[in-house]
Structure 1
Amino acid sequence: MTVINLRGLHTALGVPAVTSGVVLVEYWAGSGPVARVDGANVVLPALITAAIVEGDPGTLDLPPTAGVCCVRWTVQSDVSRVAVVRFTEIPASGPVDFGALQQVDPATFVPTADVVAAWEAVVADVVASAGAAAVSAQAAQDAAAPVTAAAESINAGLNVTDGAFAAVLANPASASSTELSAAFVGLKQAAKNPDLLIVGNITRDSNQAVTSADVVWPDGTPGTFTADTLSTAFPGAVDAYHITYGSPVTKTFTQPAITRNSAGAATTVPQIVVS
């Protein structure tokens, strides 16, 4: 695990200081979170969070990306809806300041500075040879093809059945596989925290309890949150709910009613039921 110091994060991102908010961390590949298949289950990366309190996000202890994925950082303010996103690698050792993390292409995990340098080298070669009759437009296009392919791959996703990623998954006893697996969480566990899934329209009752809301699962699949039981002892709290997965619905994750103490804190939380 590598300790990442998030102090000075705002300076590194070039944005105004966020005094209250959250830093979200997702292990990422291509156009979405890293996912792997475990039998009949699709295992998704855990959404790691660090609260920003009085402008200090503190530190995080994260598994190294080991060249098989990257980390998507999202900084959200409690005051503004605007979020700042950055993709970086996590080195094998630390501690490391956030500003010192290498930014990478989320599809190829190549440092972004290397991509720019490669493109500039191609352009320089083309310009240098422009005066030679032997250099055609097709030759220039062929010279730029590797960099163009890398740029296009940003939205192409990652084939986890091939390449370095497959090599890591094929050896679950390896240090990289063990540390990455520790950051993964299934849909069932994600349903335990609907606040992290809710995106879009929210319906509330007169006590401001959420009765229904649109959700987006970590893999991008849409769904709907519905409150089944609202607390009568603690207005505004939800005691039971269910969240659908897919459109049309392919799964439903139901949280049976929880038990609260006299202060309203949960004392018994049943397991999520999948149907």
Structure 2
Amino acid sequence: MSYLTIKLSKYTKQNDSNVNFDRKHLVNRKVFQALPQCLMENMSGTKLDILWSPVHHDKFIVWGPDITLYEVAKLSEIEKKTTFSQISSTRGATVVASQSASGVRCVDISAIADHPDPLLALGHASGRVTLASLKQTYDPLGLVGREFVPKYGRPCNGLSWNHDETNLVAVALDKHRSDHCIQVWDANRSSLSTDEFTDNTSALQSEPARPIAELALSETAHSVAWTDLGNRTLAASMNMKHIKIYDLREQSGPGYVTKYSVIYFLNAWVHTSF
């Protein structure tokens, strides 16, 4: 038997000034419990999110004014004169790459194991979602630079990569009366990136891709998370008062709705009783 635990928060990036540390990525990583404190000492007063890569277990990102990729190693393996943040008695984190987070409202890291470095989905104020790799030395899957653009522009409030069907990314958007606020995109079916256009690109190929699923017409989604109750089951915080659970295999709307006073952000876990 499985049951769902949902973590709720009134957190929004615009109105909070602390570290939001996603501890679901710390399973079997107790050695890194001091990580938020050591980074907060270096960047006190700045709103930070910290996310571990689900497949590159020695890498994480810190997201604030910039998005910075860190790599963890034993202190004895870090080269002398290299600047690092000590996160335990035996390990340190060094900066691998960094870029500005200007205009970025939400970030998530994919679980695509074949990508050599963490692949990020970046949600922007316009609703556009872009795929990026901070250390873009090799892109064997051709995913870096791809974009997903809603029919009507409005802020992107949340992102969630599916960890089972790793090509799927769910997006939570502000309300538009003529569009759905939850959209699920297939990273393999994105419109072409700018670098991929050539004189031989047909008009059909260059047309924007569409989501493979659209949910909740004329509503607001504040955040979205895959639940693991099924490969295509989503939980979403909606309209500042509801949690709705959607099974993408069904066509009849949300299968479960519960009401809370104010909800901005959620994380979902599934626990199995033995």
Query: TM-score, with normalisation over the residues of structure 2?
Result: 0.32
Give the number of the structure whose residues are more often helix, by fraction. 1
Query: TM-score, with normalisation over the residues of structure 1?
Result: 0.32
Give the number of the structure whose residues are more often strand, by fraction. 2
Query: Between Structure 1 and Structure 2, whose CA radius of gyration is higher?
Result: 1
